[in-house]
Amino acid sequence: MLICAVVLLVAVAAVRLSSRSGLPSLLIYLGIGVALGQDGIGNVAFDNAELTQVIGYAALVVILAEGGLGTKWKEIKPALPSAVVLSTFGVAVSVGITAAGAHYLVGLDWRQALIIGAVVSSTDAAAVFSVLRKVPLPGRLTGVLEAESGFNDAPVVILVVAFSTVGPVDSWYHLLGEIALELAIGAAIGLAVGWLGSLGLRSVALPASGLYPIAVMAIAVTAYAAGALAHGSGFLAVYLASVIMGNAGLPHWAATRGFADGLGWMAQIGMFVLLGLLATPHKLVADIWPAIIVGLVLTMVARPASVLLSLLPFRTSMREQALLSWAGLRGAVPIVLATIPMVSGIEGSDQIFNIVFVLVVVYTLVQGPTLPWVARRLRLQESEDTAADLGIESAPLERLRGHLLSVFVPTESRMHGVEVAELRLPPGAAVTLVVRNGTSFVPQPTTVLQRGDELLVVATDPVRDAAERRLRAVGQGGKLADWLGTGGEPAPTPTGGKTTKARPFTRKHL
Q: What is the pLDDT of residues 397-425, one digit of tens each?
A: 666 677 888 888 888 888 888 999 888 89
The 10s digit of each residue's pLDDT in 327-357 is: 888 877 888 888 888 888 888 888 999 999 8
Question: Cα(111)–Cα(166) distance, rounded to whole angstroms?
Answer: 10
CATH number of the domain within which 34 lies: 1.20.1530.20
Of 473, 433, 465, which Cα lies nearest the Cα of 449?
Answer: 433
- What is residue 217's predicted lDDT score, i.e. its pLDDT? 94
Q: What is the C-alpha end-to-end distance of the chain, expressed in Å?
A: 58
Mean pLDDT score, 423-448: 90
Domain-embedded: residue 244: yes
Same domain? For 346 and 480 the reply is no
Domain-embedded: residue 199: yes
Tally the domains of the chain.
Answer: 2
Among 79-93, 122-136, 396-410, 446-460, whose mean pLDDT is lowest?
Answer: 122-136
Same domain? For 228 and 281 the reply is yes
Among candidate residues 352, 377, 402, the one where a domain is terminated:
377
Domain-embedded: residue 273: yes
- What is residue 23's predicted lDDT score, i.e. its pLDDT? 60
Among candidate residues 377, 404, 423, the one where a domain is terminated:
377
- What is residue 504's predicted lDDT score, i.e. its pLDDT? 38
Mean pLDDT score, 306-322: 89
- What is residue 299's predicted lDDT score, i.e. its pLDDT? 92
Same domain? For 188 and 336 the reply is yes
Mean pLDDT score, 156-171: 77
The strand order across the sheet containing 454-460 reads 391-397, 402-408, 454-460, 429-436, 439-441
Same domain? For 372 and 414 the reply is no
- What is residue 495's predicted lDDT score, i.e. its pLDDT? 39
Mean pLDDT score, 273-295: 87
- CB-based contact 44:37 (threshold 8 Å): yes
Checking if the pLDDT of 483 tops 60, the result is: no
Same domain? For 104 and 142 the reply is yes
Question: Cα(411)–Cα(431) distance, rounded to whole angstroms?
Answer: 20
231: left (phi over 0), alpha (psi -120 to 50) or beta: left
Q: For residue 397, which phi and psi values (nearest 5 degrees)?
A: -110, 90
Same domain? For 240 and 269 the reply is yes
Name the band, by pLDDT with cuts 50, 70 and 90, for residue 20. Answer: low
* pTM of the predicted protein model: 0.74
**Based on C-alpha coordinates, what's the Rg of the chain?**
25
Look at the chain and count its residues: 510
Q: Which amino acid is at 312?
A: L
Domain-embedded: residue 496: no
Q: For residue 408, which phi and psi values (nearest 5 degrees)?
A: -110, 130
Same domain? For 434 and 319 the reply is no
Domain-embedded: residue 426: yes
Same domain? For 348 and 418 the reply is no
Domain-embedded: residue 312: yes
- What is residue 293's predicted lDDT score, i.e. its pLDDT? 94
CATH number of the domain within which 471 lies: 3.30.70.1450
- What is residue 294's predicted lDDT score, i.e. its pLDDT? 93
Among 37-51, 67-81, 205-219, whose mean pLDDT is lowest?
Answer: 37-51
Domain-embedded: residue 33: yes
To the nearest whole number, what is the mean pLDDT of the chain?
82
Same domain? For 367 and 476 the reply is no
3-state DSSP helix/strand/coil % of the chain, to nearest 5: 65, 5, 30
Angle at 32 between CA 26 and CA 36, to 5 degrees: 145
Domain-embedded: residue 49: yes
Q: Where are the alpha helices (DSSP H) in 252-314?
A: 253-278, 281-284, 288-297, 303-310
Question: Cα(92)–Cα(104) distance, rounded to whole angstroms?
Answer: 18
Question: Cα(396)–Cα(60) distance, rounded to whole angstroms?
Answer: 32
Q: Which amino acid is at 359?
A: L
Same domain? For 217 and 330 the reply is yes
Same domain? For 206 and 295 the reply is yes
Same domain? For 149 and 204 the reply is yes
- What is residue 179's predicted lDDT score, i.e. its pLDDT? 82
Domain that holds residue 190: 10-377
Question: Cα(199)–Cα(23) distance, rounded to whole angstroms?
Answer: 41
Checking if the pLDDT of 226 tops 70, the result is: yes
- What is residue 508's predicted lDDT score, i.e. its pLDDT? 34
Name the band, by pLDDT with cuts 50, 70 and 90, for residue 306. Answer: very high
